[in-house]
């Protein structure tokens, strides 16, 4: 396969796995990141330089940076993968409005604005795919992660609604809902907490970022051409 893919959040564990997999499959990459420039450099070492069209730094919790990202999108975009985000752990009554605003901007507002900006060209070409990495908590909710669960639930609803709106224009919109994946996002867990979670998963192990990347690869492939508006669980049966 080939085509230009914008990966929002390419410096995260899942985002970088997606970038590496798609680059090896000859997609042309536009890599967004916020702070972890080192991970972008690592991606470059694993791919041919011609696979990476450009890199864009932007803090998606800031309106000015969202606008900056849009102005730096000089290459046409056929596919968008939204893999950015960060979890927040804490009781709702102890969560500040600033954290709420940041989480909503990163997970909901920025993806809406970016999609709105890129959709007209996709619709004109009657070709394009938009994929969200959501979360199992967006499906079932999690105690002490109420805000994160809420914004991931919003992503799920956005996928389902937008899929209905743009399907007739040849644009596919889907989501991948990972369960317990072995990433830095779960490093706050104690060994006891980790083992408790693993004991609840029929496969008895955490998922791998590469397994998320493989599913993204499938959704970008024409073999997935009749999948629309789906939130696909990737959770080992959890």
The active-site residue, picked from 33, 88, 148, 226, is: 148
Q: Is 7 strand, coil or helix?
A: strand
Q: Are 137 and 148 in contact (CB under 8 A)?
A: yes
Residue 194, both tokens? 């980790």
Instruction: Collapse the DSSP code of 65 into the 3-class scheme (helix H, G, I; strand E, B; otherwise coil) and give the result.
Output: helix
Q: Based on the residue annotation, tell me whether 148 is a catalytic residue of this protein.
A: yes
99 by Cβ neighbours in 10 Å (0-12 / 13-18 / 19+) ranks as middle
Measure the CA–CA gap between 87 and 26, rounded to whole angstroms.
Answer: 31
Rounded distance between C-alpha atoms, residue 180 and residue 186, angstroms = 8
Strand order in the sheet with 28-33: 52-57, 28-33, 4-8, 79-82, 128-133, 171-178, 231-234
Q: Which residues are catalytic?
A: 148
């Amino acid at each position: 396969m080939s085509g230009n893919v914008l990966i929002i959040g390419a410096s995260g564990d899942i985002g970088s796995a997606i970038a590496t997999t798609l680059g090896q499959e000859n997609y042309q990459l536009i890599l967004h990141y916020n702070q972890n420039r080192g991970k972008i450099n690592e991606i470059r070492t694993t791919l041919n330089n011609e696979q990476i069209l450009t890199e864009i730094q932007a803090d998606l919790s800031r309106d000015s940076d969202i606008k900056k990202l849009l102005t730096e999108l000089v290459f046409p975009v056929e596919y968008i993968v939204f893999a950015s985000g960060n979890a927040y752990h804490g009781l709702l009554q102890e969560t500040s409005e600033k954290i709420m605003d940041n989480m909503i901007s990163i997970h909901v507002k920025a993806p809406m604005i970016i999609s709105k900006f890129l959709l007209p060209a996709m619709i004109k070409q009657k070709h394009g795919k938009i994929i969200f990495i959501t979360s199992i908590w967006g499906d079932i909710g999690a105690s002490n992660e109420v805000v994160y669960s809420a914004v991931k639930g919003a992503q799920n609803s956005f996928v389902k609604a937008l899929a209905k709106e743009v399907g007739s224009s040849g644009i596919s919109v889907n989501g991948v809902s990972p369960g317990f994946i072995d990433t830095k996002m779960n490093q706050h867990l104690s060994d006891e907490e980790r083992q408790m979670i693993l004991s609840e998963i029929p496969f008895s192990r955490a998922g791998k970022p590469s397994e998320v990347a493989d599913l993204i690869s499938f959704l970008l492939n024409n073999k997935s051409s009749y999948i629309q508006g789906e939130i696909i669980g990737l959770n080992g049966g959890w």
